[in-house]
Amino acid sequence: MPLLSVDRCTVAFGGLIALDAVSLEVDQGEIVGLIGPNGAGKTTVFNLITGVCRPAKSRTATAEVEVEGVPLTPQQGSRKRMKVHYGDIILAGESIRGKSPHIIAARGVARTFQNVRLFPEITVLDNVRAACHVHTTNSLPAALFRTGSYYAEEHDIEKRSIHLLHVFGLGKFQSAPAGSLPYGEQRRLEIARALATEPKILLLDEPAAGMNPQETRELTELIGWIRDDFKVSMLIIEHDMKLVMGICERIYVLDYGEVIAHGAPEEIRSDPKVIKAYLGEE
């Protein structure tokens, strides 16, 4: 059973079909790439998985269902003659479709954003500590009266956060406002913050954007090391082909909201459909 599976999901913005019955899977411990030309819908896939965008009714899949004659899920099947469905998103055996973003995050999906989105005016340490919030158990009164369990938990959060910052080489910035960090460090902090939520799967949206070749090489190493050390699966959107081909075990190619190819890096590299999508030839 895959860790994450997106099953025939469609996302529409008004009339624009940004994703058309997209399916993809990520296995436990796997690093999967998601590539495609600008505007293909890659970021929308992340927004779909994290609950920022809700899946729309899908026409394509309805046709599929009629052809196959099998209902997609038991609930949908119990309604007479299925006309529409919303696809499904399964994480570790449970559906997360239609759940709020914070619940999906708590279930184990963490992400970074294409344009880094830190909490700029609070400290680097507090950025990470804020992300530890999801697993805290202390009540508000415990915090207001500073009970023993409050101190214990806060101490634990601080220790874990400082450790994470050191691991990411950000220890010396700990008390600086996050927005004051150099760009590369901001990107790394965003990954550290995502890992603070203790995710099962980490979604990285163009982590190498704006980095020079040296930084990209370091990032590539970092990603492999994160997978081994934090035991997380990863889905990575990236335009840097060297990075993608270098670390991804499988790659999905998206074009105009549809998955046009998927497979191992070597297969993708030589797939005529992919070459056509990228070069835009007739």
Partner 1 sequence: MKGNRRHLPTVAWLALMAPVALALWAAGSGLESLLVPYYFRIILLSGIAVIAAVSLNIVNGFTGQFSIGHAGFMLVGAYASAGITMFARPFTESVLRSAHVPDVMLMPLQFAAAIAVAALAASIVGLLVGLPSLRLRGDYLAIATLGFGEGIRAIFVTVDAVGGASGLHNIPPLTSFVWVFLGVVGVIITARNLAASTHGRALFAIREDELAAQAVGIDTFRYKVLAFLISAAWAGVAGALLAHLDLGIDPRSYSFMKSVEIVVMVVLGGLGSVTGSVIAAVGLTWLPEILRPVAEYRMVFYSALLVLLMLLRPRGLFGRKELGLADLLGKKKTVPNANRKEGG
Q: Dihedral (C-alpha) 96, 97, 99, 104: value to the nearest 10 degrees?
A: 40
Which one of 34-42, 55-63, 78-86, 248-256 is the stretch in contact with Mg ion (CB under 5 A)?
34-42
- Of residues 36-75, those binding Mg ion (CB under 5 A): 42-43
**Amino acid identity, residue 128?**
V
Q: Which helix (H) or strand (E) holds 90?
A: strand 88-91
In a 3-state reduction of DSSP, which class is residue 175? coil
Q: Does 184 bind partner 1 (CB under 8 A)?
A: no
Longest dimension (CA), the chain: 69
DSSP H helices, the chain, are: 42-49, 59-68, 74-78, 101-107, 124-131, 140-144, 148-167, 183-196, 213-230, 241-247, 265-270, 272-279
In a 3-state reduction of DSSP, which class is residue 129? helix
- Interacting partner of 15 out of Mg ion, partner 1, ligand ATP, none (Cβ under 5 to 8 A depending on kind): none
In a 3-state reduction of DSSP, which class is residue 112? coil
What does the per-residue mask of binding to partner 1 show for 110-139, with x meaning CB under 8 A? Answer: xx-x---xxxxxx---x--xxxxxx-x-x-
Q: Does 13 bind ligand ATP (CB under 6 A)?
A: yes
- Interacting partner of 40 out of Mg ion, partner 1, ligand ATP, none (Cβ under 5 to 8 A depending on kind): ligand ATP
Among 60, 62, 114, 147, binds partner 1 (CB under 8 A): 147
- Of residues 20-49, those binding ligand ATP (CB under 6 A): 36, 38-44
Give contact residues for partner 1 (rule: CB under 8 A): 50, 52, 100-102, 105-106, 110-111, 113, 117-122, 126, 129-134, 136, 138, 140, 143-148, 150-151, 153-154, 157, 172-177, 179-182, 193-194, 196-197
Q: Which residues bind Mg ion (CB under 5 A)?
A: 42-43, 114
